Homo-oligomer: A and B are copies of this chain.
């Protein structure tokens, strides 16, 4: 089984490069079975809307994970409750809208998808380690991909090793910067600390430098603007052995439009 996982899609520019590159990537990496994207920043950098979610599905997305920004739009909460292909971090407390894990089915194949969020430098939610244990008990005999949306590299490394051999892929998101530490852990789990982001790279992790710099210079609140220059897509391709559910390979992808077209 081959899975394409795309890092946080930021705003319209992110959606633009994503929909432009997906067909090219499908050609280059033949037989992609599942396309998963992190969509927490897809709507103007803040959360998702019903319309944009459907746009992503129409473009060929099979499942959407998210993170802290999924809560930015409260009118999306009812959509979250009704659409099992979009998940939010499973370790948000009881009472939050939506699901934290799901099983996708396509062409006779199944893929378990779990979203978890870190706690270091992030909101006070339930323990991602214990939640992972709990959720994994509900899955039987399907390959599982975890999107761990977290800030601190230590938390990512430790949870990754903690789940090594129990999931097929453990992919970090949230920092919007792709890390170069992709590998197959000893137990057979494909690991990367952060997949990166999809959107403008002439930016502060997707937002214009002009709108973010004042925050650092003055500590005053400021409204960030989605940037649109130098569009790139960050992703990974994970190949999983259908028998063993172990990962066979993980490959980083970082593409701009022109590179891929060439």
Contact = CB atoms under 8 A, between A and B. Distances in A.
A119 interface: yes
Contacts of A176: 153-154
Contacts of A152: 151
Given A121-B151, A124-B120, A161-B209, A217 B179 contact: no
A178 interface: yes
A177 B119 CA distance: 19
B157 A219 contact: no
B161 A175 contact: no
Interface in A121-159: 121, 123-127, 129-130, 151-159
Q: How large is the interface on A (under 10, 10 to 19, 20 to 34, 35 or more residues)?
A: 35 or more
Contacts of A217: 93, 95, 127, 129-130
A96 to B, nearest CB: 5
Interface in A166-198: 175-181, 186, 193-194, 196
B93 A212 contact: no
A221 interface: yes
Interface of A: 71-72, 92-96, 119-121, 123-127, 129-130, 151-159, 161-162, 175-181, 186, 193-194, 196, 201-205, 209, 212-213, 216-221, 252, 254
6 contacts: A92-B220, A93-B217, A121-B151, A154-B205, A180-B180, A180-B196
